[in-house]
């Protein structure tokens, strides 16, 4: 099953040095999920060949402008391009009021329904589920209410070994039982366990998105053992006091978080406009956690 994240924006606060404000597109089994929607997100979708009409769910971490100022433009363009199917938005409750005010003053009546599901920044919980995956919130520690999001695959049933099915002449209607772990008894009375007739499915994967947050360690258990973690790394560690004042994380701290959470792959982003060259931030993070990559525009990472 396809499970990958494409980076649309990696900058904090303002677009600079060809870096756009934060936005990511997650592809899970050909279903697209937009995570944050900074200024220019719809242009980035066009630039990298993604069809915005395929997005049905948008997740907004918090209401600082660099994480949602692109949303009104994206929703308006979908309206102008004839969208009729609903768009579901998971976000802090104030976003609904902001968007309704903008549409009201522009006398815009969307052709499609907006479904708002407010997030709770005080307690983690499951906010979405379909046949392939589920989404939980991650409680972050920022200057205003902010949540991250954890996307987890569901465990799939084992893959039937076709040669065994043909050899034993197993009825088609019995195959779901084997996938569920039930053994099969052939005509001679021999019992064949499900492990002999099917292959173990791949281990479910997970992606955690940790938007703006100070390094408080409070969310370590929520991201423990994920396959890929995106974590903000706004400043280098020589700017630790500034990071703490603004409720952000340093590159070194992002590496320490990844190491302590025992994750497999770390992506860092949300870089301050003070840094034109991002290699020093990457090197600082890798000094603690080697398997780190820069989450920069146009890059796609397989989970």
Q: What is the DSSP string of 254-274?
A: HHHHHHHHT-SEEEEE-B-TT
- pLDDT for the residue numbered 157: 65
In contact, 117 and 89? CB cutoff 8 Å = yes
**What residues in the chain have per-residue pLDDT under 70?**
157-158, 200-201
129 and 241 share a domain? yes
Same-domain check for residues 275 and 291: yes
For residue 183, what pLDDT is reported?
85
The verdict on 122 and 243 lying in the same domain is yes
The pLDDT score that the predictor gives to residue 180 is 72
CB contact burial 111-141 (16+ within 10 A = b; e otherwise): eeeeeeeebebeebeebbeeebbebbbbbbb
Same domain? 140 vs 194: no
Q: Are residues 90 and 215 in the same domain?
A: yes
CATH number, residue 239: 3.60.15.10
* Whether residue 127 sits in one domain with residue 206: yes
Same-domain check for residues 144 and 232? yes
Tally the domains of the chain: 2
**193 and 52 share a domain?**
no
Classified as helix, coil or strand, 205 is coil
Same domain, 170 and 105: no
Q: What is the pLDDT of residues 132-177, one digit of tens each?
A: 999 999 999 999 999 999 999 998 766 778 887 777 788 887 777 7
3-state secondary structure of 167: helix
Q: Which of 199, 220, 254 is the last residue of a domain?
A: 199
- The position carrying tokens 């209401």 is 63
**What are the structure tokens assigned to 149, written together?**
């999001």
pLDDT of residue 176: 78
Q: Same domain for 170 and 32?
A: no
Domain span including residue 173? 159-199
Q: Which residues are catalytic?
A: 66
Which residue, 175, 199, 223, sits at the end of a domain? Answer: 199
- Give the pair of three-digit tokens for residue 159: 């893959």
- One domain for residues 57 and 70: yes
Residue 25 tokens, joined: 């597109």
Task: Report the candidate in 156, 227, 201, 207 with the shortest Cα–Cα distance to residue 28.
Answer: 207
One domain for residues 44 and 83: yes
Q: In the listed set 199, 222, 255, which residue is the last one of a domain according to the structure?
A: 199
């Amino acid at each position: 099953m396809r499970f990958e994240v494409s980076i649309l924006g990696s900058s904090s606060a303002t677009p600079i040095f060809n870096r756009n404000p934060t936005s990511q597109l997650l592809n899970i089994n050909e279903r697209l999920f937009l995570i944050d929607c900074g200024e220019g997100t719809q242009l980035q979708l066009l630039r990298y060949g993604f069809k915005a009409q395929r997005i049905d769910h948008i997740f907004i971490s918090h209401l600082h402008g660099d994480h949602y100022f692109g949303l009104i433009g994206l929703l308006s363009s979908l309206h102008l391009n004839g969208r009729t199917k609903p768009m579901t938005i998971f976000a802090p409750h104030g976003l609904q009021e902001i968007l309704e005010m903008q549409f009201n003053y522009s006398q815009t009546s969307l052709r499609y329904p907006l479904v708002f599901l407010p997030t709770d920044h005080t307690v983690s919980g499951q906010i979405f589920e379909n046949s392939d995956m589920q989404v939980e919130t991650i409680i972050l520690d920022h200057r205003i209410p902010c949540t991250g999001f954890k996307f987890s695959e569901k465990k799939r049933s084992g893959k039937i070994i076709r040669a065994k099915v043909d050899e034993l002449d197993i009825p088609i209607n019995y195959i779901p039982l084997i996938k569920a772990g039930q053994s099969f008894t052939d005509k001679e009375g021999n019992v064949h366990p499900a492990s002999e007739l099917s292959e173990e499915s791949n281990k479910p994967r997970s992606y955690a998105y940790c938007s703006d947050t100070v390094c408080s360690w409070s969310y370590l258990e929520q991201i423990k053992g994920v396959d890929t973690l995106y974590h903000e790394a706004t400043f280098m560690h020589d700017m630790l006091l500034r990071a703490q004042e603004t409720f952000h994380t340093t590159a070194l701290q992002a590496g320490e978080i990844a190491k302590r959470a025992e994750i497999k792959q770390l992506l860092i982003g949300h870089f301050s406009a003070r840094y034109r060259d991002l290699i020093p931030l990457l090197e600082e993070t890798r000094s603690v956690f080697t398997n780190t990559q820069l989450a920069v525009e146009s890059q796609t990472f397989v989970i």
